[in-house]
Structure 1
C-alpha cells in the first residue's frame, strides 16, 4: 500500500511540475531593444564611430547632449571638446567605443539607453527627442 501511495504522490508531483514548467521557461530578455530603437541606435553609433575614427571632436560634440551631464560649464561644443573630449576620448577609448559591444537598457521612465564599457569608464548613449546622443560618461565600478 505504501508503494502505491508513493507512486500516486510522485505522479501528482510530476503532473504539477509539468504545468509549472512554462512559468520557469526562458522568457525574452528585457535587455533586448525593440527593433525600431535598435535600428535608430545602429544608425547613430555608425556615425559616432566614424567621427571617433577620424578623431573629429566637433562631430562628436554635435552628437552629445549639452549641457553635458547637466553641467552648465559644459553647455556648448567648444567647452565639451576642451573639458571632456580631450581627457576622456583617448586613442584607447576611441578604439574601445569603435569595437565595443553596446548593451541596451530601458529605465523605469521608459528611457532607452545603450552603454559601452571601456576599462574604468562607461559611455552612455540615450534616446532623446533629437535621437540618440552621448549623455554621460561615468565610472565603471
Structure 2
C-alpha cells in the first residue's frame, strides 16, 4: 500500500507542476500594458533620433542611484554614450519587452540585448528607464 500511495502522490505532484510554474509568470494588466506601450513608443522614438537628452528625460535620475549620473548631461556622457550603442539601440527598437512583478510588487519590463538587460519600471511618475543589468 505504501508503494501505491507514493505513486498517487507523485502523480498529483506532476499534475500540479504546470499550475505552479504558470502562477510564477506574472501578467501585466491591460491598463498597465497600454501605459507601457505608450512609454516604450516614445523611448524608441528618442533612440531613433539618437537623442540622449530625450532618453534622460525618461530615466530615473540619479541613474542607478549613482550621484555621478544625476542629470541629463552626466547621463549622456557616462551612460548613453557607452550603453546605447547603435547595436543596442537597434536591439531595443526590435526587442520584445518582458513583464515581471517582483516580491515587492514593483512592476517592470525588461529588454534583453546580448549581455545587457535594459529595465523599465513603473514609478509614481509613470514608467521610467531605471537600470542596465548584466544578462547572465
Tell me the TM-score normalized by structure 2: 0.84
SS at match of 1:127: strand
After superposition, the C-alpha distances for 1:4-43 in whole angstroms (9 at most, x for unaligned) are: xxxxx9xxx7xxx8xxx6x566556632111111111000
The answer to whether residue 112 in structure 2 is matched with residue 117 in structure 1 is: yes
Structure 2 unaligned spans of 5+: none
Please name the residue that 1:50 is paired with: 45
Aligned to 1:4: none
Q: Aligned partners of 1:75 and 1:57: how far apart in 2?
A: 14
Q: Matched residues in 1 for 2:68 and 2:23: separation?
A: 42
Unpaired segments ≥5 residues, structure 1:
1-8
- Partner residue in 2 for 1:81: 76
CA distance in 2, matches of 1:129, 1:42: 17
Deviations 1:82-104 (A, max 9, x none): 00000000000000001000000
What is the distance in 1 between the residues matched to 2:17 and 2:130? 37
Instruction: State the 4+ residue runs in structure 1 displaced beyond 6 angstroms.
Output: none
Q: Which residue of 2 aligns with 1:97?
A: 92
When normalised by structure 1's length, the TM-score is: 0.81
